[in-house]
Structure 1
């Protein structure tokens, strides 16, 4: 009997214990395709797993392949795929959606109905499905491996064709872009999806030309890759102004230089780190904790720098850091919405609940995405999501106009082959390359 073919994978066994292994490669199962993975972007959750063996509350309990921002090419079809998914064939280039919900299906593939149906999959919120398994996440056990491997078998409905004009590394950005499409819908500035739920064919409806973001001022905390995508998408959706806050001047300079901020005056603010000597704020209010006082002071300084005394209408908190979460409340205008995108501090030691409640500031959770991938591919292909897309911006005294897709392509700053995955993670952890260049999105390519 001939031996099974093998596939190379970068497998995490514990903190910083990343090993290249050769694993048996089985034929794709019912409803699956086999894909040669061409590009996988590394994200913050991957880095947390690599450095600490855990991401927040989710700790690895067995060896795990990381990576979930991926694209590739179909090399084989499982049973019935050609009939059920005629748009997929061997040679089709695809972006890979990595969350696998139950889809209200029984183990034999029949549809569950009535009280047995999954209310989340049935209502286009499959990202909240209780039985969802996400590639490269340790939330569920046994874990489901991610995409840092040469070939994988994956559910056909999760594969989204990409045009030849979109490179594999660009297509890998469909995943983080999906995170922000979903968060923007939760924040009320992005129109509903024009695609039906769970990866079916697109509807005949088109996006409304009316911009939900028109007249809105948007503030983004954190200008890593996710924050920069939040900024670019808010511009694409027609926001009146986009500003950014970070602790890293180099990243802020990149955001300003490449047009990720726009509007009159400065669009960036570098947040000072707390004093190491533990000094407290001036004129303390004994009823306020030190972290609340510091958040209020930092918010006042940022709003003064932006010349936005009334605050911002929509805030994307992309750091997960306690100080930024608290500060976002004081940077919000009356009736604003704060979308919690960053996964960082699991708790905060105190929260300005009165300030949020009396000013009707909505704190909105946002977790992964649902019904976003096809629109993400459209955007990466150069199709505007609204008539406001492709806004002009100022840089070095000149006016520029860049397509959203071109702007996002600038986020891929470094590329490595799979056998250099450890070096790629170490670079991402450092945040700067050997030439002092800023590290934003590191992509593993084959």
Structure 2
């Protein structure tokens, strides 16, 4: 079967990989769609993401949906043939973080398509993958696989908004209108935010943010744009660049909350730390998610507008073109790989 394997920086290959068999407690899933994530792009372009560096070839992909093929011994779950989304994380369950209910920062988690540990955890960009059976989630009624492929990034966005606290009736600033930033807009609106302002350098990205529900969009390189909030209550930094964090710290109100969601480059990052002190701003990190995955599926089922954020679907045979398109934010938002038979719906 075909899989999408990263061998190193700028070395992405679509190649034959072995068909897996489910072991005890595992399920075999026929993958239909896989979303190309920013971390997948980092592995492709830089050979790593943040502090996680490639040390061996790795199947990419952690945003995958498909249908159940079979189960291994002692495993059960949605019926064979059912449409499912795959929760990509397997926390250890015993570390202090897991015991405290913060499984998303488990120190010994296994996450699909991640080089955080060695040997790496192979990802889901293959025609069939084996995962723990308890990671399968049945799709809510009416939710099709194509839209369900947004469940993982939407979960990230939901967790970031949750880290911000109660946003009901609040003004939320989001810096960065990539796929995650746009989904933060939707998550903030779903959580009751009264106004959401989004900044980005690219007009195309801002159009996607508007489609996601942004009330105001602002060119990040225009400090005189009247759309900038004088004092946002909450800011979510989703661009992963220091300039975005700086904008959040300068635009949030005194005593406000800034959530750093975008993965900054490894090593020291400059930021306006004095503002954190003099304005008593709370700076919080947001990493992945846990139970928000089920919430994301319900939200996707209830809102067809999410379809507008899927800008392209390409067959796995064209993976390199799909990655190049996903990396070009002037032409795309969320790009999906299709692992189904060519020409099928």
TM-score by length of 2: 0.94
Q: What is the correspondence of 1:193-208 to structure 2 with a 5 Å cutoff?
A: none
Closer, same or farther in 2 for the Cα pair 1:317/1:359, shift >3 Å?
same
Query: What's 2:79 paired with?
Result: 89
Q: 1:349: how far off?
A: 5.0
Query: What's 2:162 paired with?
Result: 185
Q: Secondary structure of 1:320's partner?
A: coil
Q: Which deviates more, 22-31 or 414-423?
A: 22-31
Are 1:99 and 2:93 matched, yes or no?
Answer: no
Superposed CA deviations along residues 224-272 of structure 1, whole A, max 9, x for unmatched, are: 111111111111211111111111122213433x26212xxxx111122
Query: What's 1:415 paired with?
Result: 313
Q: Is the 8 Å Cα contact of residues 92 and 98 (structure 2) preserved in structure 1?
A: yes
Counterpart Cα distance in 1 of 2:68 and 2:294:
17
Q: Secondary structure of 2:96's partner?
A: coil
Are 1:138 and 2:102 matched, yes or no?
Answer: no
Q: 1:348: how far off?
A: 5.0
Query: What's 1:331 paired with?
Result: 251
Q: Which of residues 322, 337, 344 in structure 2 aligns to 1:444? A: 337
Counterpart Cα distance in 2 of 1:234 and 1:175:
16
Are 1:122 and 2:99 matched, yes or no?
Answer: yes
Counterpart Cα distance in 1 of 2:179 and 2:325:
15
Query: What's 1:251 paired with?
Result: 205
Q: What is the correspondence of 1:45-444 to structure 2 with a 5 Å cutoff?
A: 45-82=39-76, 85=77, 88-104=78-94, 118-189=95-166, 213-256=167-210, 258=211, 260-262=213-215, 267-272=216-221, 298=223, 301=224, 305-306=226-227, 308-309=229-230, 311-348=231-268, 350-382=270-302, 405-432=303-330, 438-444=331-337
Q: 1:20: how far off?
A: 2.2
Counterpart Cα distance in 1 of 2:208 and 2:161:
23
Q: 1:337: how far off?
A: 0.7
Superposed CA deviations along residues 190-234 of structure 1, whole A, max 9, x for unmatched, are: xxxxxxxxxxxxxxxxxxxxxxx2220000001111111111111
Superposed CA deviations along residues 82-108 of structure 1, whole A, max 9, x for unmatched, are: 3xx4xx22112111011111123xxxx
Q: 1:346: how far off?
A: 3.1
Q: Secondary structure of 2:155's partner?
A: helix
Q: Is the 8 Å Cα contact of residues 35 and 74 (structure 1) preserved in structure 2?
A: yes
Q: Secondary structure of 2:288's partner?
A: coil
Q: 1:173: how far off?
A: 0.6
Counterpart Cα distance in 2 of 1:235 and 1:127:
23
Q: Which deviates more, 32-41 or 132-141?
A: 132-141
Q: 1:362: how far off?
A: 0.6
Query: What's 2:343 paired with?
Result: none
Counterpart Cα distance in 1 of 2:138 and 2:292:
13
Counterpart Cα distance in 2 of 1:351 and 1:176:
26
Query: What's 1:12 paired with?
Result: 6
Closer, same or farther in 2 for the Cα pair 1:170/1:335, shift >3 Å?
same
Superposed CA deviations along residues 307-342 of structure 1, whole A, max 9, x for unmatched, are: 633x10111100110111112101110111111110
Q: Is the 8 Å Cα contact of residues 61 and 125 (structure 2) preserved in structure 1?
A: yes
Counterpart Cα distance in 1 of 2:21 and 2:98:
28
Q: Which of residues 25, 33, 36 in structure 2 aligns to 1:31? A: 25
Superposed CA deviations along residues 115-153 of structure 1, whole A, max 9, x for unmatched, are: xxx222223211111111211111111001111100011
Q: 1:350: how far off?
A: 3.5
Counterpart Cα distance in 2 of 1:248 and 1:365:
25
